[in-house]
Amino acid sequence: MNKLLLHPAAKPLVFVLCLLPFAWLAYGAFTDGLGANPAEHLIRSTGDWTLRFICIVLAVTPLRVMTRTNALARFRRMLGLFAYFYVVVHLLSYSLFDMGFDIPAIAKDIAKRPFILVGFTAFVLLTPLAATSFNRAIKALGAKRWQTLHKLVYGIAGLGLLHFFWMRAGKNNFAEVFVYAAIVATLLGWRVWNSARNRKAPRAVPTGRVQLSK
């Protein structure tokens, strides 16, 4: 598996796969294939794909560790940028189709409706993560500060779930919300468990030194 993921064609293939949902939505928009309310379909679909990509990004490390497939790490940056791409399209779709790009009206709507405020907050927090997903940014920030900054993704996942929950609460439809919540809880729970396990693991004795028994 590592050899396949390290193949030169792997990244272009993953890029195309990540772009397919957007291509399908664009095709549906141009062919009137998005149903009776294409604007709502586009807004909701791009929001769904944002949450899905956040889940995929969170899944990279557990899968890498459990399957010992270290090559998975080389796709994490791309997947994170696609999460940001879809949230930008989601925000632009809302701004254009719901609000007609009326900036004062958008600002009032964000302040008035909590679920939009939560979603917008998640977008704001995701922006610096996308802006620093480059080698120069890592060098400029330093590895520790960069890692600390990118832990914001955990809070962003929670805000995304809350945004999705409030959106579905209007129609009393929580089935998908529970699925995403279970996925995010599992992925974050694994991190807590793995961190605790690593802290309890005995440290290796440095070479050349003798460990004395108690």
Rg of the Cα trace of the chain?
Answer: 21
- Domains of the chain (ranges plus CATH)? 2-193 (1.20.120)
Whether pTM exceeds 0.85: yes
pLDDT band, residue 202 (cuts 50/70/90): low
pLDDT digits (tens, 9 = 90+) for 55-83: 999 999 999 999 999 999 999 999 999 99
Long-range contacts of 185-188 (CB under 8 A, 24+ apart): 187/55, 187/58, 187/59, 187/62, 188/58, 188/154, 188/157
Nearest to 78 by CA among 92, 62, 61, 57: 57
pLDDT digits (tens, 9 = 90+) for 7-36: 999 999 999 999 999 999 999 999 999 988
